Structure 1
């Protein structure tokens, strides 16, 4: 099942849902338009004559994708009561965007798209065994979008979307008001910084985690501002963990090091992601290496491989070469970054898919020994476990020549296209170097890809089998 949004109850028990059903019944009886619309969406005109608590419970169960309240109750009392991984994937867009996504998904379901059916089965329990999406309704498509974004129901997604937009607006106002103080930070004016409130210090530290503290001032791997000023803020701040997660995303290596020294928690999960995951997803290998010294969180095959820990990768397999069950405790999904990436198709329990995820992220970070070990175990160099991106696609942005040569030597096809951008290896190279001046390495990569013979077999040069 999907992960939950970080502001929702981590363990919603049965009593919680019973109270929600009672509240719905009272609101419907009072003529509340939102409640009336919710009931009509599930029951149509059937609630006009009477609307009992059992009817309200049925509506709640249906909103969560279950056939009956009894099935929903069994889910909540069983595995549904376990704590789920929290996420926050809202990026400040209006609910109309999500409604359009649901409409597009419904069209895919009606066309019989295999990926859409896979999503239906994964996120709408009453369709868990469906062999066709012909019976799917608009509310099923809406529920899928909500679940992929970390919400148990469409209604909660819409509610938190509105709140997210308001919160984003408030954060932007606070940042604009603190531009003078940001200038003081750039100038190392410790006297001015010392009189700030803890809330202002929190905002400035969060701003410092990104590449643009003040418009026109670009920050990179180095701290970029006088350390004395930052230390004043660190001593006043109430939260160092959120800046750490953001700094890991933007490759702010010097700032990550300073936050860790000041006591930020490298294993924290906020906004649905850990600092290490954020660094790994965005290809920030040096930051990932620094964080991994404090511990690899989450502990899983793909994070071990991405961190280059061949010893831990080997430990994920038993003596007979079978993948251990706990190796897939966490699975990668770029949607967790909150950067607007679509959610991947629901991951399967297939060991080959799990190994493929680890393989491509090892390629992404240039972990040559891990990549070679997987290839020697029979992993196909063109495996594309999610987003349709092969090891070549993942390795090119980081310019990992050794890995790219190894993949090509094992038969990797540079003509294969990913499912997200529909780009082959040469196009990926162009996209990742377009904003940078030409370099000898870029020229070498172009030559290497163009001189390599390609295989125009089934699927080559076209989108992968996964929709995204």
Structure 2
């Protein structure tokens, strides 16, 4: 599978014999003259998993799982149409590096008294907030705190409190996660243990700071403070990346509050990260009196910092950096200019400031979206109708070209575009239950 997170959950009592049969069925489907055979095999498997795993999975998640698994199966079996290849597809789909490791996991899981069974139960207790159950498991088997998952990411139990990097279906943050974290640390969890995700060297603090789940649960700052109180290192300078990245990682993942929190507690800042958290006082310090960059900063940091400032709506920082000969067509390799970034963030004041400097309105990002095109996409995927209506009106007044036809977004935006000659296709709208979450 593409990464250790995109894995399928195991049923409560997985059967090795059932998986062996499943592999044979996949091999048979791959040799069938029916082009839909693998697709049908995948859909049956995904439906069976959804039926036997706890918690109702949204249809959109099941569709993504099915598409990803089918694509992976076709790729592997097109190279080698053998039983071992079919078994490899199943093992990797569940997050294991190969079939023998998957078999070993299932055999150990079949014994309820095994350490592996207890580790899996402890991981479930963490993400569901079952404090008493977790405490009991740690008392019964103190070595659990030092164990690592047998899945590819090799996470410890402490990593699961971050709700990031581990298997997607276990990325959940209960309200009592700070209490649970304290329990794990008091039991002897290694505070800076690393997991094999995102290139390796990922600590619990780093994963928690970049995770959306503790932020949505309203406990991210408390979780980060708890980890710091127990001696967690903010920067991992001996990691594979070997550079200060705590604040930048937060900014790259949309975690502005966590970025500012870590900056206040001693995270290393560069021109790029200082601009990203809106610290104009620090940004100014990277320039000589004549406006030239000091040796401690680079042009690349300047350009990246400008994009972050636009994306997070730090209008004062943007205004200052505009005096430093910024090319308004600059982007980070994805075609997203500062104006694109401001649109994605929905920052009207920043957009109005940038428009005063004649930015390129028709510059396309890697998805083929102009600034207005990006605006329409953002409006259709969770954007506030009133905010994006104002942004669209502002861009049109500045000369942005309105497409003759567009996919339906919402009535407020569609009515505005209709006044400018654009028509919807198709003419339907997301309901609140159906609306995608990105």
Aligned to 2:182, what secondary structure does the other structure show? helix
Aligned to 1:313, what secondary structure does the other structure show? helix
Shift of 1:226: 4.4
Q: How big is each residue's C-alpha offset from its partner over 1:373-393, in whole Å with a ceiling of 9 and x where there is no partner?
A: 112344343333543321122
Equivalent residue, structure 1, for 2:423: none
* Contact 2:363–2:371 under 8 Å retained in 1: yes
* Contact 1:413–1:455 under 8 Å retained in 2: no
The change in CA–CA distance for 1:300 and 1:275 in structure 2 (over 3 A counts) is closer
Within-5 A mapping of 1:205-224: 205-210=158-163, 219=172, 224=175
Q: How big is each residue's C-alpha offset from its partner over 1:388-428, in whole Å with a ceiling of 9 and x where there is no partner?
A: 3211222233322322222123322332112x333222333
Which of these residues, 158, 180, 205, is aligned with residue 121 of structure 2?
180
Mapped to 2, the partners of 1:437 and 1:179 lie a distance apart of: 38
Q: Does 1:448 align with 2:391?
A: no
Shift of 1:213: 7.5
Mapped to 1, the partners of 2:96 and 2:168 lie a distance apart of: 22
Which of these residues, 357, 360, 365, is aligned with residue 304 of structure 2?
357
Q: TM-score, normalised by structure 1?
A: 0.49
Mapped to 2, the partners of 1:307 and 1:360 lie a distance apart of: 12
Shift of 1:301: 1.7
Shift of 1:290: 0.6
* Contact 2:163–2:211 under 8 Å retained in 1: yes
Mapped to 1, the partners of 2:353 and 2:278 lie a distance apart of: 16
Shift of 1:200: 4.0
Mapped to 2, the partners of 1:355 and 1:288 lie a distance apart of: 18
Q: Does 1:227 align with 2:178?
A: yes
Equivalent residue, structure 2, for 1:425: 371
The change in CA–CA distance for 1:324 and 1:455 in structure 2 (over 3 A counts) is farther
Mapped to 1, the partners of 2:166 and 2:303 lie a distance apart of: 38
Equivalent residue, structure 1, for 2:191: 239
Q: How big is each residue's C-alpha offset from its partner over 1:140-189, in whole Å with a ceiling of 9 and x where there is no partner?
A: xxxxxxxxxxxxxxxxxxxxxxxx9849x979x69995442233222222
Query: Could you list the runs of 5+ residues in structure 2 that have no partner in the other structure?
Result: 1-71, 76-94, 110-115, 149-154, 194-202, 403-438
* Contact 1:382–1:413 under 8 Å retained in 2: yes
Query: Could you list the runs of 5+ residues in structure 1 that have no partner in the other structure?
Result: 1-93, 98-163, 329-350, 457-468
* Contact 1:283–1:364 under 8 Å retained in 2: no
Equivalent residue, structure 1, for 2:85: none
Aligned to 1:327, what secondary structure does the other structure show? coil
Equivalent residue, structure 1, for 2:255: 284
Equivalent residue, structure 2, for 1:51: none
Mapped to 2, the partners of 1:193 and 1:447 lie a distance apart of: 58
Q: How big is each residue's C-alpha offset from its partner over 1:15-51, in whole Å with a ceiling of 9 and x where there is no partner?
A: xxxxxxxxxxxxxxxxxxxxxxxxxxxxxxxxxxxxx
Q: Does 1:383 align with 2:324?
A: no
Within-5 A mapping of 1:428-439: 428-432=374-378, 434-436=380-382, 439=385
Mapped to 1, the partners of 2:232 and 2:320 lie a distance apart of: 34
Number of matched residues?
269
Q: Does 1:191 align with 2:135?
A: yes
Shift of 1:291: 0.8
Aligned to 1:182, what secondary structure does the other structure show? helix
Structure having greater relative contact order (Cα 8 Å, sep ≥ 6)? 1
* Contact 1:266–1:276 under 8 Å retained in 2: no
* Contact 2:163–2:170 under 8 Å retained in 1: no
Mapped to 1, the partners of 2:101 and 2:259 lie a distance apart of: 31
Shift of 1:278: 1.0
Shift of 1:209: 1.4
Mapped to 2, the partners of 1:187 and 1:436 lie a distance apart of: 32
Within-5 A mapping of 1:285-324: 285-297=256-268, 299-324=269-294
The change in CA–CA distance for 1:237 and 1:449 in structure 2 (over 3 A counts) is farther
The change in CA–CA distance for 1:387 and 1:240 in structure 2 (over 3 A counts) is same
Q: Which moved more, 1:233-242 or 1:308-317?
A: 233-242
Within-5 A mapping of 1:16-27: none
* Contact 2:191–2:227 under 8 Å retained in 1: no
Q: How big is each residue's C-alpha offset from its partner over 1:352-382, in whole Å with a ceiling of 9 and x where there is no partner?
A: x543222112212222111011123443433
Q: Does 1:204 align with 2:148?
A: no
Q: Does 1:258 align with 2:226?
A: yes
The change in CA–CA distance for 1:282 and 1:319 in structure 2 (over 3 A counts) is same
Mapped to 1, the partners of 2:302 and 2:285 lie a distance apart of: 13
Shift of 1:322: 1.6
Aligned to 2:329, what secondary structure does the other structure show? coil
Q: How big is each residue's C-alpha offset from its partner over 1:99-134, in whole Å with a ceiling of 9 and x where there is no partner?
A: xxxxxxxxxxxxxxxxxxxxxxxxxxxxxxxxxxxx
Shift of 1:239: 3.0
Which stretches of structure 1, 4 residues or more, deviate above 6 A after TM superposition? 173-176, 212-215
Mapped to 1, the partners of 2:344 and 2:161 lie a distance apart of: 25
The change in CA–CA distance for 1:316 and 1:404 in structure 2 (over 3 A counts) is same
